[in-house]
Structures are given as structure tokens and as C-alpha cells.
Amino acid sequence: MYHIGKILEVWAGKAAKGDESVQATLEMWDENVITLKAEPKISKQLKTGDYVLVDYTPVILGAAAVPRQVITKVLDTKAGERTWQTYKEFHKKQKAAKSGAAAAAQMQAHQAQESYLG
């Protein structure tokens, strides 16, 4: 499984001292902001504003399966923008459906309370 993200900042070279690995802070399609390690093969290609794929394939860690969470691909700008919009629209619909369901549940609870109070 892969998720799309948009690079907000790349942490390498003069921007970050330490080991030779490269990380990037990403805005994810579902409004999360996270900092993840990049695959060494693509780490020098990463730029602010790039659309990337993050590998969420489960890996076994002890007794649990956890997502890998590594930046594995830099997407072509046009393809990245299209995919980003598709994911964002899906997320927008999910949020609207959840808020609509929450509002309906709240109204039902209020009506039940009114009928109980007489």
C-alpha cells in the first residue's frame, strides 16, 4: 500500500547535520504532517513541492505488523498533481460523510432526551 505526500522540507546537507540519510517533512493527502526517511536511490532528487509516494507496506516488527513509511518514488509533476487532487477529494468526501453522520447522531440523541424529559 502506498500513500501520496507533498514535500514541505527536505532534511539533508546544510539543512541538517548528522548521518548521510535524507528525510523529508511531508503534507499527506489526509492532512497529516510527518517526517520520513527517503530511499537512498532517490534522496538526492527530492525537492520542496515534489509529490512522492510513501511505502506503507506492512513489515513485521516483533509481534506486530507496522507500516514501512519510507519515501520510495518521486512522481512526475502532472501525475502527482492529478493523484494528489484525487486523494484530497476522496478525503473531503470522507470528512463530509463523517460530520454528517455525527450531526445526525447528535440530533437523534437530542430528540431522545427531549422525549424522555416529556
76-105 pLDDT, tens digit per residue, is 999 999 999 999 999 999 988 887 766 666
Beta-bridge mates of residue 4: 53
Confidence (pLDDT) at 104: 64
H-helix or E-strand spanning residue 72 = strand 70-74
User: What's the mean per-residue pLDDT of the chain?
Assistant: 89
Confidence (pLDDT) at 8: 98
Mean pLDDT of the 94-117 span: 68
Confidence (pLDDT) at 84: 96
pTM > 0.95:
no
Task: Say yes or no: domain 2-117 is CATH 3.40.50.620.
Answer: no
Contacts 24+ apart (CB under 8 A), 96-103: none
- Counts of helices then strands in the chain (DSSP H, E): 1, 7
- CA 14/CA 35 separation, integer angstroms: 17
